[in-house]
Structure 1
Amino acid sequence: MQRIIKNGIVVIFSAFLLSACSFSFIYNHLDWWSNWYLDDYVTLSQDQQQRFDTAFNELHTWHRQTQLSEYTRQLITLKTQVNRGITLEEVNAQLVNLKQHWLVVREQAKPALISLVHSLSSRQRKQVVDEIASNNEARIDDYDEISQEQWFSETCIERQDQFKKWLGKLTKGQKVEVCQLAKSLTPTFNHRMYYLIKWHSGLKQVLAMGLDKQQYEVMFTELISEPESLKSEQHKTLSKNNSDTSVKIFQVMMNSLTDKQLNRLNNKLDDLIKDLKELAIDT
Structure 2
Amino acid sequence: MKKVGLWVLLLVSLVGCSTKMGYYFLDWVIEWKLEEYVSLTSGQQAQFDSALNQFLIWHRAEELPLYAKQLSQFSLEFEQASLTPAVWAAQVEQLKQHWLRTFEFIKPFIVPMISSFTDEQVKQVIAQLRVDEKALNRKYLGKDRQALVEMADKRINKRIKKWIGKLTSKQKQAIHEYNLGRSSNLDMWLEYRHEWIRLLSLALKNRHNQAALSHSLTVLMTQPDRLKSDVYKTTLDNNTEQFGTLLVRLNLLATISQKKHFQAKLDALIVDLNELSEAD
Question: Which of 174, 190, 206 is residue 193 of structure 1 equivalent to?
Answer: 190
Q: TM-score, normalised by structure 2?
A: 0.88
- Work out which of the residue numbers 112, 119, 128 in structure 1 matches 2:125: 128
Question: Residues 82 and 255 of structure 1 are in contact (CA less than 8 Å); yes or no, is this contact kept in structure 2?
Answer: no
Q: Counterpart of 1:140?
A: 137
Q: Judge which range, 98-107 or 43-52, deviates more.
A: 98-107
Could you tell me which residue of structure 1 aligns to residue 93 of structure 2? 96
Gap change, CA 1:252 and 1:7, over 3 Å in 2: farther
User: Letter of the aligned partner of 1:115 in structure 2?
Assistant: P
Q: Secondary structure at the match of 1:183?
A: helix
Corresponding residue number in structure 2 for 1:168? 165
Change (3 A) 1:9 1:255: farther
Q: Does 1:108 align with 2:105?
A: yes
In structure 2, the residue matched to 1:117 is 114
The separation in 2 between residues aligned to 1:162 and 1:180, in whole angstroms, is: 17
Q: Give, in angstroms, the shift of residue 210 of structure 1.
A: 6.5
Alignment equivalent of 1:256, drawn from 253, 265, 269: 253
Partners of 2:5 and 2:129 within 8 A in 1: no
Once the 2 structures are TM-superposed, how far is the Cα of residue 185 of structure 1 from its aligned partner? 2.0
**Partners of 1:266 and 1:156 in 2: how far apart?**
24
| 1:3 CA drift (Å) | 4.1
Output the amino acid matched with 1:107.
E
State how far apart, in whole Å, the 2-side matches of 1:79 and 1:219 are. 37
Question: Residue deviations 1:141-188, cap 9 Å, x none?
Answer: 343522212222332232222211111122222222222233222343
Q: Where in structure 2 are the equivalents of 1:1-283 lying within 5 Å?
A: 2-7=5-10, 23-88=19-84, 89-209=86-206, 211-281=208-278
Cα offset, 1:110, TM superposition: 1.9
State the Cα deviation string for residues 59-90 of structure 1 (Å, max 9, x = none). Answer: 11100000111111111111211111123132
Among all aligned residue pairs of Structure 1 and Structure 2, give the percentage whose two residues are the same amino acid. Answer: 27
DSSP-derived class of the 1:67 partner: helix
Alpha-carbon distance between aligned partners in 2 of 1:210 and 1:151, rounded to the nearest angstrom: 38
- For normalisation by structure 1, the TM-score amounts to 0.87
| Coordinate RMSD, CA, aligned | 2.4
Q: Name the CA distance, whole Å, in 1 between partners of 2:193 and 2:208.
A: 23
- Matched length: 274
Question: In 1, are the aligned partners of 2:6 and 2:125 still within 8 Å (CA)?
Answer: no
Deviations 1:241-268 (A, max 9, x none): 2211111111211232211111111111
Give the direction of change, closer, same or farther, for the CA distance of 1:160–1:73 in structure 2 (3 Å limit): same
Distance 1:259 1:210, change over 3 A: closer
Judge conservation of contact 2:149–2:179 (CA < 8 Å) in 1. Answer: yes
